Amino acid sequence: MVRDDRWDRALQLLGGLHYLALRDGIDPWGDPAAAVTEHADWLRGFVAEHGIQTNEVQRSWMLLPCFLEIVRRTGTEILDLIEIGPSAGLNLVWDRYRYRYENGGWGKADAALELSGEERRPVPGSLWGFVPWVRRRRGIDLSPLDLTRDEDTLLLKAFVWADQQHRLERLNRAVETLRTNPPVLERGDAAERLPELLAERQPGALTIVVQTAVTGYLGERAERIVGALEDAARQFPLAFVWTARPAPDVHDYWGLWVRIWPEGEPFLIEHAGFHGQWLEWLGEDE
Ligand SMILES: C[S@@+](CC[C@H](N)C(=O)[O-])C[C@H]1O[C@@H](n2cnc3c(N)ncnc32)[C@H](O)[C@@H]1O
């Protein structure tokens, strides 16, 4: 996918206006042209300095069944996670949220955040009995955000559409959850750094590498990442979950793909909306 820089500039500009609204309490939306004129120098600096940064925690709702299906198939309940392009890492702490699905729920009853969505073909209730333990969580991002810092939290909020209060509310609860024990996020290019992170594995767990909403940025790096995974899978238990097109000509929603080594053949386990707002389970019923 070739990204159009002009579209990015427009989104950065809107992010800058939202940043000012959140930080200073101004209302730029009544007369945005006047707000842009008044804050032109500051906005120029913001656009030059801050690429778009988003981290959609609702994606944990579409990911959880994939993780539990991997646990079911491998029989391993101790997990080490590595996320490619985690942004702030909100989906690396998926096991701390509460979830609702048609056939049951999962997670701690007192979680600060509960996630739910629309199931177009429901996830089987038998999966909710699996309760894996996440032993380790790491991420590699070109520009990771540190949500223990108020500046980074503000930046992440600024790139949520300003009228989507429910997403901002969800983000606040997810940030609160993450801050109790933040995951380790490395700065760097995943194609460069992944082999090193994979080499740090400790015996006794299944490593799951996960990537959501990053495929479009990777280009030829995607092949290097797959090569690193295949090399690592020769040495220890490994699974990979990622979002990509479900079929070459489908552009309106995602496929959730899974590979579990040693077989290593990719299979499609879900269709899902881009923000994880709906899913269609493609695996077995029970
Ligand atoms: C659209 S965001 C998705 C964030 C998160 N995965 C989610 O689903 O909410 C894309 C993320 O990928 C990161 N990214 C893009 N190219 C990358 C690369 N080559 N290596 C590591 N991270 C990358 C960006 O910095 C950004 O944080």
Contact yes or no for 131/77 (Cβ under 8 A): yes
Task: Give the closest residue (by CA) to ligand 1 atom 12.
Answer: 85
Mean pLDDT of 34-57: 96
CB 143 near ligand 1, within 6 Å:
yes
Query: Band of the pLDDT at 284, cuts 50, 70, 90?
Result: confident
CA of 104 relative to ligand 1 center, distance in Å: 31
Supply the pLDDT for residue 3.
59
- Whether residue 286 has pLDDT greater than 80: no
Mean pLDDT of 25-36: 95
CB 85 near ligand 1, within 6 Å:
yes
The three-state secondary structure class of 61 is helix
Among 64, 214, 256, which is best to mutate for testing ligand 1, by the most ligand atoms less than 8 A from CB? 214
Mean pLDDT of 195-209: 96
Supply the pLDDT for residue 25.
95
pLDDT tens digits, one per residue of 160-197: 999 999 999 999 999 999 999 999 999 999 999 999 99
pLDDT tens digits, one per residue of 121-165: 999 999 999 999 999 999 999 999 999 999 999 999 999 999 999
Strand order in the sheet with 254-260: 118-121, 278-281, 267-272, 254-260, 238-244, 206-211, 78-84, 133-141, 184-187
Domains and CATH numbers, the chain: 5-49 (no CATH), 59-281 (3.40.50)
Supply the pLDDT for residue 1.
45
Supply the pLDDT for residue 282.
98
